[in-house]
């Protein structure tokens, strides 16, 4: 974690626990920072709506963006709770690791995982960000974003955003995303992690928006095309069950 980010988080934590708004000087004292540093960080937090300053008292409190983030976090906790029993059932049916990923800006991360009971199994770090264009779960999430957002994500990744497919061109990658929307699933072989392959499908919420990607991953020696063909129906049915539980 960068030092600037750490200091900004300290300020947000003080604002979270304070019963009243605080001045820049008061915040500087509480987080043990020079007042000039605190003011600079507060300006950035205010620009991002993580903090707001009262125009009269000139004191700060938490901004509306923190509520938005908190609500999104709570929704994802609900998503995990709904999905977990179905993920366990899918793990038992496939004997491979089952993951649940969500998009966070231009990245995606696992928020839940049920590991295979096999001695040789895959494992993903929860909360670790991956580019949206890499891996089957990422492409499932990316494929269902509005076209303008897809363009923005791909622009941020330069050529690396579409080198995962053959031929490695942007047009071919966009065709791949269209195929994902049509087929309702995507596959990845030795891509994000060498020796690991995965099959993923979208999970929808009550507004028919793709809320997550459900994936089954395992050692590439076991996750062959034939094996993915065999378990594809189980993955799609499980994604539908979770979607229905979310109101889709």
Are 3-62 and 72-245 in the same CATH fold? no
Give the pLDDT of residue 138.
94
Give the pLDDT of residue 70.
72
Would you say residue 124 has pLDDT above 80? Answer: no
* Mean pLDDT across 160-174: 81
Give the pLDDT of residue 224.
92
DSSP string of the chain, one letter each residue: --HHHHHHHHHHHHHHH-SS-B-HHHHHHHHT--HHHHHHHHHHHHHTTSEEE-TTT--EEE-HHHHHHHHHHHHHHHHHHHHHHHHHHHHHHH-SEEEEEEEETTEEEEEEEE--SSSS-----TT--EETTSHHHHHHHHHTS-HHHHHHHHHHHGGGGSTTSSS--HHHHHHHHHHHHHHT-EEEES-SSTTEEEEEEEEE-TTS-EEEEEEEEEETTTS-HHHHHHHHHHHHHHHHHHHHHTT-
**Between these two residues, 127 and 71, which has the higher pLDDT value?**
127
Q: Which residues of 125-159 are buried (b: 16+ CB within 10 A; e: fewer)?
A: eeeeebbbbbbbbbbbbbbbbeeeebeebbeeeee
Q: Are strands 107-114 and 97-104 parallel, antiparallel or unpaired?
A: antiparallel
Would you say residue 119 has pLDDT above 80? Answer: no
Percent of the chain with pLDDT over 90: 48
Confidence of residue 207 (pLDDT cuts 50, 70, 90): confident
Confidence of residue 126 (pLDDT cuts 50, 70, 90): confident
Q: Supply 185's token pair.
A: 């699933």
φ, ψ dihedrals at 237, nearest 5°: -65, -40
pTM, 2 dp: 0.69
Residue that the structure tokens 């690791």 belong to: 97
What is the tens place of the pLDDT at every residue in 66-92?
876 776 666 666 888 899 999 999 999
State the sign of the Cα–Cα–Cα–Cα dihedral 68, 71, 76, 79: negative
**Between these two residues, 63 and 128, which has the higher pLDDT value?**
63
How many residues in total does the chain contain? 248
Q: Which fold has domain 72-245?
A: Beta-Lactamase (3.30.450)
CATH architecture of 3-62: Orthogonal Bundle (1.10)
What is the tens place of the pLDDT at every residue in 25-60?
999 999 899 999 999 999 999 988 889 998 889 999
Boundaries of every domain in the chain: 3-62, 72-245
């Amino acid at each position: 974690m960068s030092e600037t980010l750490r200091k900004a988080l300290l300020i947000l934590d003080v604002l979270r626990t304070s019963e009243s708004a605080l001045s820049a000087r008061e915040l500087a004292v509480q987080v043990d920072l020079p007042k000039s540093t605190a003011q600079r960080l507060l300006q950035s937090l205010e620009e991002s709506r993580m903090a707001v300053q009262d125009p009269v008292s000139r004191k700060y409190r938490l901004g509306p963006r923190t509520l938005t983030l908190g609500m999104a976090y709570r929704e994802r906790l609900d998503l995990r709770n709904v999905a977990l029993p179905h993920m366990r059932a899918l793990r038992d049916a496939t004997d491979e690791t089952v993951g649940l990923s969500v998009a966070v800006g231009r990245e995606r991360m696992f928020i839940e995982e049920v590991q295979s009971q096999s001695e040789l199994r895959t494992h993903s770090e929860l909360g670790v960000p991956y580019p949206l264009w890499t891996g089957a779960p990422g492409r499932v999430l990316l494929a269902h974003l509005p076209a303008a957002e897809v363009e923005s994500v791909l622009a941020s990744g330069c050529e690396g955003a579409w080198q995962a497919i053959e031929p490695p061109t942007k047009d071919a990658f966009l065709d791949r995303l269209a195929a994902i929307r049509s087929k309702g699933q995507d596959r990845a072989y030795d891509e994000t992690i060498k020796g690991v392959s995965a099959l993923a499908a979208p999970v929808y919420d009550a507004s028919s928006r793709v809320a997550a990607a459900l994936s089954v991953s395992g050692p590439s020696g076991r996750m062959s095309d034939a094996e993915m063909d065999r378990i594809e129906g189980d993955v799609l049915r499980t994604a539908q069950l979770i979607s229905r539980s979310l109101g889709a």
